[in-house]
Amino acid sequence: MHRMIIEGGQPLNGDVRVSGAKNAALPLFAAGLLGDGPLLLDNVPDLKDIHTMAAVLRHMGALAEVTDGRAEIDPRPVNNPTAPYEMVKTMRASALVLGPLVARHGRARVSLPGGCAIGERPINLHLKALEAMGAQISLEQGYVTAVAPKGGLKGADFFFDTPTVTGTENIMMAATLARGRTVLRNAAMEPEVTDTARALTTMGADIRGAGTETVTIEGRGSLRGGRHRIMADRIETGTFMVAAAITGGRVRIIDGPQGCLGALEKKLEEAGARIEANDQFVLVTGPDRILSADARTRPYPGFPTDMQAQFMALMTVGSGLSVIQETIFENRFMHVGELKRMGADVRLDGNTAIISGVEHLSGAPVMATDLRASASLILAGLAARGQTEISRVYHLDRGYERIEEKLLGLGARVRRIRE
């Protein structure tokens, strides 16, 4: 198991390049199952979750190769539309194959994802929407089986009780091959949904309104293969923005996504950071003293839950009181106990964290519990006095490509211990 050692107190300076977005790449791999030919993807990040997704596709018989930032998915040999427990349990986003499989092959058998470190995370809305499209859903031995009606899925008018990112993607993909029109209401508006729709369009799908709360899909008899460049990772971008702010450094983040970090930028400005953004880069200059600010996670375009832990790390060294409310996941405060070990003053009350900023954090051995919690510990370690040792960094490798290399390039004192 790997550990990360950080000597804190070094302001980060310089340029860093953002990788392709994990949460866009994952639905796009699943989208590769829909066509009659291969889907080529560029800007594919080299991450554990991506390799797991490729393995899920190969398990079904598809060809799924990932090399040097490119992926080719050829769905033609698929002969086993199943996602097994061993794979789904390590990555719940495997459930994204459900919609494409049932749409393309009339049948899918996918292990029902269990809860995870950040919450229960049901997929009931994915299943309800497929049912509305005529699929028969049954649950046996931990597996969901979805069977399309004779003649295939049919278009439906479906309202999501709560906006769900992978739910919207799953059903949008299924609808591209359904008979007639599907209208998804209260859909998730995250940029990764829009990126998925863009790729599907190059494959011949007819989708309108992706990125708004109503997405309309006219089903097609078939889709072809295609080629698509995956959008840049907005959460990686945001994490480096906080890294600049928390260390009082100056970081130019290159090739990030365009115009989708407004809510975070506003909060970082409230915290005293200076931000200059254009179509090539975002330049973040950290303040001398971080000002405390409140935040409340919301679906896009609100403040992202995937940035909550990192923003909390910043607020632990704020000038006063900060109130952070997590409204998306019920258990996404696992980093709090670890930040406290570093001297943070945080009180939890249900889904609210009340943070009293301290002058400085001090390095300590801490444990990563999930992807974004790990990122918050790295940020805290960068700002802390002394040495921080983070164990279980495999969580980090699920979502941050070459993280220590990128941090080293910005002058951080960080190293990985492999044992």
User: Rule CB under 6 A: which of 161-200 touch ligand EPU?
Assistant: 162, 164-167, 188, 192
Residue from 154, 228, 372, 395 in contact with ligand EPU (CB under 6 A): 372
23 binds ligand EPU (CB under 6 A): yes
Residue 99's Cβ-side half-sphere holds a number of Cα atoms within 13 Å equal to 32
Nearer CB in complex with ligand EPU: 252/332? 332
Q: How far is the CB of 371 from ligand EPU (least distance, A)?
A: 4
Residue from 53, 125, 246, 260 in contact with ligand EPU (CB under 6 A): 125
Alpha helices in 67-160 (DSSP H): 85-88, 98-105, 124-132
52 binds ligand EPU (CB under 6 A): no
Cis peptide before 301 (omega within 30 of 0): yes
Q: Quick check: helix, strand or coil at residue 398?
A: coil
Whether 116 sits among the annotated catalytic residues: the reply is yes
124 binds ligand EPU (CB under 6 A): yes
- Would you say 209 and 172 are in contact if contact means Cβ atoms under 8 Å apart? no
Task: Give backbone dihedrals phi and psi of 95, rounded to 5 degrees, phi first.
Answer: -60, -15
Q: How far is the CB of 306 from ligand EPU (least distance, A)?
A: 5
- Would you say 6 and 391 are in contact if contact means Cβ atoms under 8 Å apart? no
Nearer CB in complex with ligand EPU: 93/293? 93
Helices H / strands E in the chain, number of each = 14, 24
Please name every residue paired with 228 in a beta bridge, in sequence order, or none if there are none: 41
122 binds ligand EPU (CB under 6 A): yes
Q: Quick check: helix, strand or coil at residue 395?
A: helix
121 binds ligand EPU (CB under 6 A): yes
Nearer CB in complex with ligand EPU: 283/295? 295
Site string for ligand EPU, 312-351 (x = CB under 6 A): ----------------xx----------------------
Nearer CB in complex with ligand EPU: 157/345? 157
232 DSSP assignment: B
Which amino acid, 303?
F
Q: How far is the CB of 328 from ligand EPU (least distance, A)?
A: 5
115 binds ligand EPU (CB under 6 A): no
Residue in 55, 116, 275, 354 annotated catalytic:
116
- Closest residue by Cα to residue 111 from 149, 76, 153, 146: 146
User: Rule CB under 6 A: which of 196-255 touch ligand EPU?
Assistant: none
Nearer CB in complex with ligand EPU: 10/43? 43
133/263 Cα distance (integer angstroms): 35
Nearer CB in complex with ligand EPU: 10/111? 111
User: Rule CB under 6 A: which of 139-168 touch ligand EPU?
Assistant: 162, 164-167
Nearer CB in complex with ligand EPU: 122/259? 122
Q: Quick check: helix, strand or coil at residue 396?
A: helix
369/146 Cα distance (integer angstroms): 33
Residue from 104, 126, 335, 406 in contact with ligand EPU (CB under 6 A): 126
415/404 Cα distance (integer angstroms): 7
Q: How far is the CB of 24 from ligand EPU (least distance, A)?
A: 8
* Number of chain positions touching ligand EPU (CB under 6 A): 24
User: Rule CB under 6 A: which of 69-98 touch ligand EPU?
Assistant: 93
Q: Where are any strands of DSSP class E within 120-212?
A: 136-140, 143-147, 157-159, 181-185, 206-208
Q: Which two tokens stand for residue 115?
A: 């809860």
Please name every residue paired with 418 in a beta bridge, in sequence order, or none if there are none: 2
Alpha-carbon distance values, 35 to 163, 171, 263, 355 (Å): 27, 16, 36, 49
Residues 6+ apart with CB under 8 A from 348: 333, 336, 354
56 binds ligand EPU (CB under 6 A): no
Binding site for ligand EPU (CB under 6 A): 23, 26, 93, 119, 121-126, 162, 164-167, 188, 192, 305-306, 328-329, 371-372, 399
Residues designated catalytic: 116
